[in-house]
């Protein structure tokens, strides 16, 4: 009898990967915002490789669900050289979600301080920009920029995986106007 795992692997071998080939163009607004933050010299140093540390600073966990989706085989973020790492010490980029609850502010600052230079901060979701629907509460600071400097916003509540990809590709491309992805 053929074990189920062999069946599944065979299935993938014969039918090819499920990964989405149509890709969103890099977010142009994001590119311009980033051009200020990301010099050509730095881009050369990093090449096309980015390590991201995700920090939930009070999100409703909706953004985390869509970040997980970007890691799924459908969007397969790692094929662009972008990967999520387990420690800020390994990261180039902090991807921060949430309106920044007061109880998380210090943890966010300390995570930022633990990230080696050069480093960038991407605020993900409407809460990360200005607190979103939690703005006005005494228990939140209202946006990632209240605690650490932000280089790029990816809007949405939550942003779709395509929007997240577009934003991160903009981050990779920086000032370069080359197309981010050539179709495989």
Partner 1 sequence: MMMGNVGLLDFLSVGERVEGHVPWPRYRLDIRQWRALVEQLSTAEWSLMAEWAEPGEVHAALRDEETAEIAVASHPCLDGRFLSLGAARPAAIRPERAIFDLWGLAPMGLEDQRPWLDHGRWPHLHPQAAHPRPPAEAPYVYPFLTAEGEGLHQIPVGPVHAGIIEPGHFRFHCQGEVVVRLEERLGYVHKGIHGLLMGKSPEQAARIAGRVSGDSTVAYALAFARAVEAATGCLVPPRAHWLRGLMAEMERIANHVIDIGAICNDAAFAIMLSHMGVLRERILRANQTLFGHRLLMDCVIPGGIARDIDPEGLALMPILLRTLRKDFNRAVKLYNETPSLLDRTTGTGHVSGSLVHRFGAGGFVGRASGRAHDCRRSPGYPPYDDLDMAVIESLEGDVNARIEVRIAEVRASLLLISQVLADLPRGPVTAALPARGGEGMAVAESFRGEVMAWVRLDDRGRVERAHLHDPSWFQWPLLEAAIEGNIVADFPLCNKSFNCSYSGHDL
Residues that bind partner 1 (CB under 8 A): 3-5, 7-9, 18, 54-69, 71-74, 84, 86-88, 98-99, 101-107, 111, 133-134, 136-140, 157-158, 160
3-state secondary structure of 50: strand
DSSP readout, 72-132? Answer: STTT-GGGGTEEE-S-GGG-SEEEEESS-BHHHHHHHHHHHHHSPSS-EEEEESHHHHH-G
CA 58 to each of CA 44, 98, 101, 115: distance values in angstroms, whole numbers, following the listed order: 34, 5, 5, 20
CB of residue 153 vs partner 1: minimum separation in angstroms?
A: 18
For residue 80, the minimal CB distance to partner 1 (Å) is 17
Using the minimum distance from each CB to partner 1, give the nearer residue, 49 or 72. Answer: 72
How many Cα atoms are found within 13 Å in the side-chain-facing hemisphere of 94? 33
Q: Which is nearer to partner 1, 107 or 175 (CB)?
A: 107
Whether 95 contacts 55, CB under 8 Å: yes
Residue closer to partner 1 by CB (options 86, 117) is 86
Among residues 73 and 81, whose Cβ is nearest to partner 1? Answer: 73
Smallest distance from partner 1 to CB 42, Å: 25
Shortest approach of partner 1 to residue 93 CB, angstroms? 13
């Amino acid at each position: 009898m053929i074990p189920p795992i062999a069946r599944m692997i065979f299935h993938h071998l014969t039918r090819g990967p499920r990964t989405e080939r149509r890709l969103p163009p890099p977010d142009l607004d994001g590119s311009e915002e980033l051009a200020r933050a990301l010099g050509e010299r730095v881009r050369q140093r990093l090449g096309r490789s980015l390590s991201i540390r995700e920090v939930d600073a009070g999100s409703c966990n909706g953004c985390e669900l869509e970040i997980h989706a970007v890691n799924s085989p459908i969007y397969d973020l790692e094929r662009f050289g972008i990967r999520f790492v387990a420690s800020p010490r390994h990261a180039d980029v902090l991807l921060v979600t949430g309106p920044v609850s007061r109880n998380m502010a210090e943890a966010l600052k300390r995570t930022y301080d633990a990230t080696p230079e050069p480093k960038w901060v991407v605020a993900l979701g409407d809460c990360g920009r200005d607190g979103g629907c939690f703005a006005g509460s005494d228990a939140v600071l209202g946006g990632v920029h209240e605690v650490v400097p932000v280089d790029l916003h990816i809007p949405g509540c939550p942003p779709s995986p395509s929007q997240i990809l577009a934003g991160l590709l903009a981050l990779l491309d920086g000032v370069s106007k080359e197309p981010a992805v050539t179709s495989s």
